[in-house]
Amino acid sequence: MDTHRFLVREISKSVQSLHEENRAWAIYHGPSHTLKRLPDRATIIRTTDLHNILNINMQCKFALVEPNVTISDLVQKTLNHGLMPIVVPSFPSLTVGGCFAGTAAGSGSSKFGYFDQGVAWVEVVLADGRITRASRTRNVDLLEGLVGSLGTVGIVTLLQVRLVPAARFVEVEYFPIKGVGRLIEVLERAAKDTENDFVEGLMIGVVVVGRLFAKKGKEMVTFSNPHDRWFYMHALEAEKKIEKVRMLDYLFRHDRGAFCLGETCFGRIPFRPWTRWATDSAMREASLIRVVQELQWADHLVMQDVVVPVDAAAEVLDHLDSNMGRFPLALCPVRQWPENSVVMRPNPRSAELCMSITVRGWSDDSIKDAKKFRDQTREVEKKVYELGGIKWLYSRNYYSEEEFWNTYSKEDYDNLRSKYNAGYLPSVYHKSKTPDMPPRSRRAAKVKVKGFWNQVFTWSSVLAVRHRAQKT
């Protein structure tokens, strides 16, 4: 704890000095999942050393966690004590601070809502350098304002994360479904069943329900080994059946292939069990995100996560199908409490159950034409806003400033930043907006490709194949 206090004081001193000079700063916490090309900042506040779990309290069921601890590390340490966070996102390389600030969800969200709803309090370095805490009873507006604001209100340096009893295994049941309406109906019913600990849907079409299970089954199914099938492939071809899965394998079932993103790399390489085995080290989610960032694929690949009221989910899915084509989608019901006010997570319809929709894939139009990709993304943004939903802001965002603040309350956000002296920092709109830059084809020659797999995927990916086909 002494080391933690020292690091936080050093961050506080740096922030205070910059505040006195009225110089904006940016937070650097290490590798990020953002898909945006952020401008270079002359002043960086580094939080990379805040990566420890300081305490796991078994009696009170909470963990004191620094923000750069990965979800994988937190889950593994807490499972050793028979506990786990109330919501665990499916990608192990996500950080606790990122899940809090980025308002993450997971298949446990049908019971508990978003990850941040399991955070009891946070320690924060404010934009003027002061160190304070925000909890459910103290500085409540600050705690809620930090959610989804992407570090534009203050720097979170410590979180108390609520834990719940866990089991060693999960009993996973598959329900093959035909039709969008039927899929959403079954997901909604499964989310309301308190016996279900995890609920997820895959288009098209299966609903996957998980329940904590104490005893090991005779035949255990795994998803983390190089020879295993990727989870979405396994689930979409599953008949109605029940399987036993180790807890870690289930929680991080989408790590291999990053749901279905890894399939993008197999344009010239055959998509077969032996090629997935051979490329396994590059098919983990953290590796694939680096590939997307370094090869600048995010200008052409659809990588979006949206959340809308459950009664609007079918309309969003129809829009995605008609405008982008059909590719695998992951759906997770998300419990909402309309009385809880979060500035950067509006709920204009006061929905008690929403649907998170994960989109990964490409269409022939967007993969060849960056402008077409931009237009398609803009249409998704408009449709989601029209239906009372929001987009996660890690991805490509093309809102105009007026459209952005029609979705979120600028007045509440500005008042919060003014109260905590953060008005001199770039706003969440400017931080999340994708800057206007030349299409990838005009700057491809400037991209420095490093690493063996990056070299391979530059030649082999669907993106490379489509671009070459366009030129010939």
User: pLDDT tens-digit profile of 77-115?
Assistant: 999 999 999 999 999 999 999 999 988 999 999 999 999
pLDDT for residue 218: 74
Give yes or no for a contact between 347 and 246, defined as CB atoms under 8 angstroms apart: no
| pLDDT tier for residue 445 given thresholds of 50, 70 and 90 | very low
Q: What is the mean pLDDT of residues 333-352?
A: 87
Q: State in words which class domain 2-165 has.
A: alpha beta
pLDDT digits (tens, 9 = 90+) for 205-226: 899 999 999 887 678 899 999 9
* Model confidence, pTM: 0.90
- 336: CB partners within 8 A, 6+ apart: 113, 347, 351, 352, 353, 354
Confirm if 71 and 92 have CB atoms less than 8 A apart: yes
| Res. 289: pLDDT tops 80 | yes
* Residues 136-152 pLDDT 10s: 999 999 999 999 999 99
Smallest Cα–Cα separation from 459: which of 268, 261, 263, 262? 268
Percent of the chain with pLDDT over 90: 60
Q: For residue 359, what pLDDT is reported?
A: 86
Residue 444 has pLDDT above 60, yes or no: no
Encode pLDDT of 161-200 as tens digits. Answer: 999 999 999 999 999 998 899 999 999 999 999 999 999 9
Do 413 and 145 meet the contact criterion of CB atoms below 8 Å apart?
yes
Name the pLDDT band for 303 (thresholds 50, 70, 90). confident
What pLDDT is recorded for position 238? Answer: 81
Please give the pLDDT value at position 448: 58
